[in-house]
Amino acid sequence: MKKITMVLMVLVLSLMVTSAAFANANEAAPKQAIMKIEKVYYMKGSGYYVAHTTKDKDGHFWVLQVTDISTPKEDKAFSQVLRKQYNGKQVVVTYVEPFDEDEEVEIWDVKIK
């Protein structure tokens, strides 16, 4: 019984070490995108206020969530305050691109200048 337990422990540990090694081998370097915020608006489907950036040379842009709490309907005065605060500001997005096309981009950090 002790031999079977020991063999199982060795097998599990070897699988853990192997998967950790593969995870480190596939780790991508973070990239940065610097763009300006083009517009801020209320997204009806989600209930969040979001910022939409200008497009880069490849036609890519970011849609960044501005608020942490969703609301059932838009507050026009709050929308105006967010537009004044964010429109035209430069944003730096630090991200990692996925290895698989089915995955989403992982955003590490967003800074507004």
What the chain holds in terms of domains, given with CATH numbers, is 28-112 (2.40.50)
End-to-end C-alpha distance for the chain, whole angstroms: 63
**What's the average model confidence in pLDDT over 11-17?**
56
The dihedrals phi and psi of 43, each to the nearest 5 degrees, come to -95, 105
Summarised one tens digit per residue, pLDDT across range 47-88 is 999 999 999 887 889 999 999 899 999 999 999 999 999 999
Q: What is the pLDDT of residue 53?
A: 94
* pTM value surpassing 0.75: no
Q: What is the pLDDT of residue 95?
A: 86
Tokens 């290895």 found at:
99
Whole-number Å distance between alpha carbons of 104 and 97: 8
